[in-house]
Structure 1
């Protein structure tokens, strides 16, 4: 907001106020939805949600329709530039964290929008047949700058599990960044290739 003086006399001061008007107001839209998850008890579960709009939406999380309380140390909500939000639960507890989680995005333009995902928690002695198991953990690599790195992770399960990668607690955006590629060959299924490191 700005005040500009047009005329100043002994009798009065003339002033006008310029209020910037944003010509483009877009209602919120979910661009990345949280995914359903099934995990072992005592590990980490994380849901990621992204929304766009103008102004940039704020994202809130709900558990079974009620706002997630981040006063509990096991629940962490992290906001990211560009409209992303992550709900992290650590450690997950069977019977307490099995629920439907919902991200709700709103920006004051139009109605709020939401997306849901479910979390299923299994006790270690009650895993269903074919539950995914990590068979090869990724290892730390030292790569010369500008070269290509390949990170390998192995997993078994029925059906064959899909391997997804996370960087700095955020999902790696395969397809949005040409430097990242998933190698789906028989020797290294699900390996992450990073070019121009």
Structure 2
């Protein structure tokens, strides 16, 4: 039996991405109502993911899923972190600001982090998973794919930036892919017990 899962986003691209991760489950995803806005006031990715899932579940009376993710740069003490999307007005501005702040810093280590949370219809968080992808920040963008910081986030084990990877490769190594890989067994367990 198919069950409805409201995605705490108005972004159809994110819905498609989540649907791909959950393709082999009995969950059907739908976007949250556009008028329903949840402010990300948490100081961690987990806090923001849980906040969004809880608010959307309570407002719609359905199961809800939310994620929060961002880039943490070692030499900048984890910045931009939860402010990754708000680090500039465009992807180019965000990348430019980050490269400018790193300057000629030798330590280019960084990680993308993603936390996914699922709330029951009453807003209770029932599942949560985290995925981390370690990499390095390049001195200049490389590749035409992806979005956000993808052109400057280099994964040494693949010798590619996120922007150079095929969707399949990115899914296998990315923070979001790892978070969903951790979430799926829990979700299957939940489906069986519900």
Q: TM-score range by the shorter chain?
A: under 0.3
Question: Which structure's residues are more often strand, by fraction?
Answer: 1
TM-score (norm 2): 0.26
Question: Which structure's residues are more often helix, by fraction?
Answer: 2
> Which protein is bigger by CA-based radius of gyration?
1
TM-score (norm 1): 0.26
